[in-house]
């Protein structure tokens, strides 16, 4: 996949690299799974037969989101109850004030592929 970015007048192009991180069969509906991708703590969630990926650290004080409670698209951090939408990363309830980072996911056959963003 080719992504074109515009930053001011500068034009940048980069390829997004996807890496296999799990099998679709490893993740049940409504389940969370902690994975490590190039040293980054990532959490996978399966919601309505779609797979989402996001940082595994709460933006409040880095609680492990994979240990939280997932109800539909809403993930509750196990430490202080902050809530996030796993599809968009948006904060739904404090004490967290910053959205969580989400990642692009692609499914090919039974393989879950994920792309971590390059730092621009």
70 domain-assigned: yes
Residue 7 β-bridge partners: 10
Number of domains in the chain: 1
CATH of the domain at 111: 2.102.10.10
* pLDDT, average across residues 55-68: 97
Please name the residues in contact with 8: beta carbons below 8 A apart, sequence gap of 6 or more: none
pLDDT tens-digit readout, 88-112: 999 999 999 999 999 999 999 999 9
Range of the domain at 55: 16-115
User: Would you say residue 98 lies in a domain?
Assistant: yes
Residue 104 lies in a domain: yes
For 57, which DSSP code?
B
In a domain, 49, yes or no: yes
User: What pLDDT, on the 0 to 100 scale, is given for residue 116?
Assistant: 84
Contacts of 3 (CB under 8 A, 6+ apart): 13, 14, 15, 16
Per the CB < 8 A criterion, the answer to whether 88 and 102 are in contact is yes
Evaluate whether residue 7 is within a structural domain.
Answer: no
Query: Residue 62 falls within a domain, yes or no?
Result: yes
Q: Which residues pair with 2 in a beta bridge?
A: 15
108 in any annotated domain: yes
């Amino acid at each position: 996949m080719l992504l074109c970015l515009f930053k001011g007048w500068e034009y940048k192009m980069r390829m997004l690299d996807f890496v296999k991180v799990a099998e679709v069969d490893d993740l049940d509906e409504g389940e969370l799974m902690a994975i490590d991708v190039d040293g980054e703590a990532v959490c996978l969630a399966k919601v309505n037969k779609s797979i989402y990926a996001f940082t595994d650290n709460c933006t409040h004080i880095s609680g492990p989101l994979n240990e939280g409670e997932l109800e539909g698209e809403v993930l509750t951090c196990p430490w202080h109850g902050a809530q996030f939408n796993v599809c968009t990363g948006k904060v739904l309830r404090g004490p967290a004030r910053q959205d969580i980072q989400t990642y692009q996911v692609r499914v090919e056959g039974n393989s879950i592929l994920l792309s971590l963003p390059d730092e621009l």
